[in-house]
Structure 1
Amino acid sequence: MLKLLTSPATVAAALTALFLVACGDGGPLAHPLITRYALGHPLAVATVGLFFAGAAAVLMRAVGHRAERRAVAALAICRFPTTADALAWAGESRLAAPSRVRGLLTDPPPADRAETRLGALHESAADRLHDGYGLVRTITWAVPILGFLGTVVGITLAIAGIDPDGLGESLGEVTGGLAVAFDTTALALALSLVLVFGTHAVQGAELSNLERLRDVAFRALLPLCPAAEEDPVRAAAADVAELMRRRAGDLAEVHAAAWRGSLEEMRSAWAETLTESRAAFAAGIRAETAAAAEAAERRQQAAGQEFLSAVRAATDAMTGAVSRWSDGFEEAAAADVDRSDRLRDLADSLAAIAERTEAHSMIAGRIDAGLATVNEAGHFEEAVHSLTAAAHLLTMRLGGVPGQSAPQPTSAHVVPSQRRAA
């Protein structure tokens, strides 16, 4: 009866009932968010109940861990004079520390095998601890599954509530179904996180206590185990093992000597082979080097001949080009000399023209002066003679023909002159 009342299912049912009462009208947990997420759908209520089942299992493991830790601490300070005292201390308790004492000292093994038995007992306790969290791991896996199931149900309700003829009227049912889908998922994920972290903390503490129990059991219980007895069979087996070890050592030495001889022969053979290979390789390299040197010399001679031919051709081409350039330079120099002579003649001509122009200017001035004198003095004949002499002089200066007399002015020519002078 007591075991039934303290089972995780009973504790979970009690916690779920208390939660529902506390979330009711006037309860201490009555809040719109709690009512929406925890009580909005039957799947949400089932998720809360499953969470309380996992929480109850973790809580009971935590309570049991406190008793286990106290038992390990008591074993650490105990010094048992005899095996009977240790068994009396263990009694019928189902805690890990008393169970470890009973498992080792009920039929105490010799000291040389006690350590092996303690290791086996520790592994068995660790396996039982892992199995003890099977229900919690299942619940931690099932809580998110319920949330996803609520998501599927909510989406199904939303799709079923869609009315193509009255979308406005069916909008409430659609949003209600979507609220169920998302609310159940959020609730399941949050509760699974709480379970995961709580389980990790309690299980880690129990594993640490179990490791401490192993160390305490080694220190406190190994001295109570009887010493190892002399066993003839074991002694004979030890002698045989020692003899086999010596024989194995001798065989190993023989094999090692044989291997060393074989390796030495192989090394000598390899050295001879390597020497022959090196000699053959060197001879081949020398032959190839001589042939390559001869071929390179031939190629070098051919290349030298080609280079000399190319140099001769280039020299001839350059000589012809220089000759042509020299002839061109001579022709240009002769043309420059001719051009200089022509320029000199042109300069002389220009100087002569300038002198003639100056004489013409002087004669024109004399004519103007003579006309002025005629106009003033009225000596017409003298003016005519002066004009004739000036015209004759002008003709001579301008390149007139020598020996040809100047034309005599007529009266027809004089009259206009007199008129112009007047």
Structure 2
Amino acid sequence: MAGRNNLASNSWSGLASVALGPLVAAIFYSVLYVSPVPFLHRYFMGHPVAYAATVLFFVALVGLIVRHLDTRRQLGIVAGLADSELKPAERTSSDLGEHVTHWLDHLAQLPRSERGCQLVHRLEDLLGRQQRRKTTRFLNDDLRDVSDREADQSHDSLQLVRIIVWAIPMLGFLGTVVGITQTLGGLDFSDGQNAVDNLKAGLYVAFDTTALGLVLSVIAIFLQFPVEKKMNHLMATLDQRSIEILSGGFPEESTADQPLQAIAEMNRAVLASVNQLVETQAELWKKTVDSAHDHWTSVVGNAGDQVQSALTEAIELTLQSHAEHVDKTHQNASQQIEQRWKQWQTALSDNARVLMVQQQTLAQQNELLIGTADRAKELAEVRELLQTNTAGLSAMPEMSDAMRSLARAIDLIVDRVPSQSNRSKAA
């Protein structure tokens, strides 16, 4: 019963937020439309996404206000209810069923405003469980179960607000993307200055949506915190009051006359424990498998990155070494070619000088040969003259011998001169 009442309360809070949020946003825009503040017009009315983000913000704001007011009302009612109003003054019967029935009737006589309190709904739920079981052995388990369930319902009551807080900045980013796309698509670069002005104006509007979304989201988060704190305080108060009221409020039970019932309850407890253990073990196995899968995925990804990095470094080092080797080889080849070229130039220069010297020597020898040939002609003439003179002086024996000796000497000279000239030509 308490769970259904809390769900109904949460549903009513959500409907109020959805219904009143757009109405409050319409009032806000009505006031903003007539206000002469360009700054607010720029941020709240510059783009359709800004309208959507603002409406969502007011939906979340109304939801937070409704939950805050309801929580304060519940805390006020719980603080105003005394323990004597929530349980009978004395036990009317030693039978658990009759006592619980009397207790429920006592709660039903409370005023209507107090009967709508969450504490009363929780007590009715817990008493109904004990009445159906006809035992209070599992009262502590019921207290924990009801407390956890209502805490979850309290947390879920702000689910719409959490979604809106997450969605508002996303809308801002969406407005930025759409605004930039429209601005870039509508640019006309035929007029440069006009295109730049249009681009700046479009970017201002586009980024304003992101700024508005972030600001509204931050405001909603700060407003959500005190509301959640107040709701947690209400849950803690309900837990404490429930324990205080129910402790010692039931008749003592004796299981001596009901051995079969005790055994059945024990079997149910063991079965519930085994089921819980199996569920816990399955959950642990699932988490372990997921963790191992994530770990292996991470290890494989890291190994791939390391291999890629190592290959990249190795290839870079190899290419760098190869480039240095090629550069060094090129430099050595250039130096060797330059040295060979210098050697060839030196050899050619030396050969040219030798050839020039040999040419000069040959020219000198040629001149000498020409002079020798002239001398040979002169000697030949002298020999003919001497022969003529020898024939004329043959009557003079002594003179004739002297002239013969002179003729032989001249012949010998003439014979030697041509041989030397021939050797010079051969050289």
- Output the TM-score relative to the length of structure 2: 0.51
CA distance in structure 1 between the aligned counterparts of 2:154 and 2:54, rounded to whole angstroms: 26
What's the CA shift for 1:86?
2.8
Q: For 1:106, which of 128, 139, 155 is the aligned residue?
A: 128
Q: Larger RCO: Structure 1 or Structure 2 (Cα < 8 Å, ≥ 6 residues apart)?
A: 2
For 2:17, the aligned partner's letter is: P
Matched, 1:85 2:91: no
Paired residues of 2:14 and 2:160 also in contact (CA < 8 A): no
Change (3 A) 1:22 1:176: same
Aligned 1:182-331 pairs, distance under 5 A: 182-230=207-255, 231-233=258-260
Q: For 1:45, which of 33, 44, 51 is the aligned residue?
A: 51
The one-character-per-residue Cα deviations of 1:333-388 (angstroms, maximum 9, x if unpaired) are: xxxxxxxxxxxxxxxxxxxxxxxxxxxxxxxxxxxxxxxxxxxxxxxxxxxxxxxx
Paired residues of 2:107 and 2:115 also in contact (CA < 8 A): no
Q: For 1:23, which of 29, 32, 56 is the aligned residue?
A: 32
Tell me what 1:179 maps to. 204
CA distance in structure 1 between the aligned counterparts of 2:160 and 2:230, rounded to whole angstroms: 18
What's the CA shift for 1:224?
3.0
Tell me what 2:169 maps to. 144
Change (3 A) 1:238 1:184: closer
Matched, 1:97 2:115: no
Q: For 2:66, which of 42, 55, 60 is the aligned residue?
A: 60
Tell me what 2:280 maps to. none
Aligned length: 236
What's the CA shift for 1:94?
4.7
What's the CA shift for 1:75?
3.8
Paired residues of 1:114 and 1:222 also in contact (CA < 8 A): no
Paired residues of 1:158 and 1:175 also in contact (CA < 8 A): no
For 1:44, the aligned partner's letter is: A
CA distance in structure 2 between the aligned counterparts of 1:75 and 1:35, rounded to whole angstroms: 50
Paired residues of 1:159 and 1:174 also in contact (CA < 8 A): yes
The one-character-per-residue Cα deviations of 1:145-202 (angstroms, maximum 9, x if unpaired) are: 1100011012112312332221211223211210112110000000000111111210
CA distance in structure 2 between the aligned counterparts of 1:128 and 1:56, rounded to whole angstroms: 19
For 1:163, the aligned partner's letter is: D
For 1:103, the aligned partner's letter is: D
For 1:142, the aligned partner's letter is: A
Paired residues of 1:23 and 1:35 also in contact (CA < 8 A): yes
CA distance in structure 2 between the aligned counterparts of 1:78 and 1:183, rounded to whole angstroms: 59
Backbone CA RMSD of aligned residues: 2.9
Matched, 1:155 2:180: yes
What's the CA shift for 1:4?
10
What's the CA shift for 1:3?
6.0
The one-character-per-residue Cα deviations of 1:216-257 (angstroms, maximum 9, x if unpaired) are: 1111123333432422126679999xxxxxxxxxxxxxxxxx
What's the CA shift for 1:63?
1.1
Change (3 A) 1:73 1:238: closer
Tell me what 2:146 maps to. 121
Change (3 A) 1:97 1:169: same
CA distance in structure 2 between the aligned counterparts of 1:74 and 1:162, rounded to whole angstroms: 68
CA distance in structure 2 between the aligned counterparts of 1:236 and 1:101, rounded to whole angstroms: 28
Unmatched 5+ residue regions in structure 2? 1-10, 89-101, 268-427
For 1:122, the aligned partner's letter is: S
Paired residues of 2:176 and 2:209 also in contact (CA < 8 A): yes
Change (3 A) 1:36 1:160: same
Structure 2 counterpart SS, 1:40: coil
Paired residues of 1:96 and 1:125 also in contact (CA < 8 A): no
Change (3 A) 1:76 1:190: farther
CA distance in structure 2 between the aligned counterparts of 1:7 and 1:235, rounded to whole angstroms: 49
Change (3 A) 1:145 1:78: farther
- Output the TM-score relative to the length of structure 1: 0.51
CA distance in structure 1 between the aligned counterparts of 2:162 and 2:240, rounded to whole angstroms: 29
For 1:138, the aligned partner's letter is: I
The one-character-per-residue Cα deviations of 1:3-45 (angstroms, maximum 9, x if unpaired) are: 69962111111101110111122x4xx4111111011111111
CA distance in structure 2 between the aligned counterparts of 1:235 and 1:201, rounded to whole angstroms: 47
Q: Percent identity?
A: 30
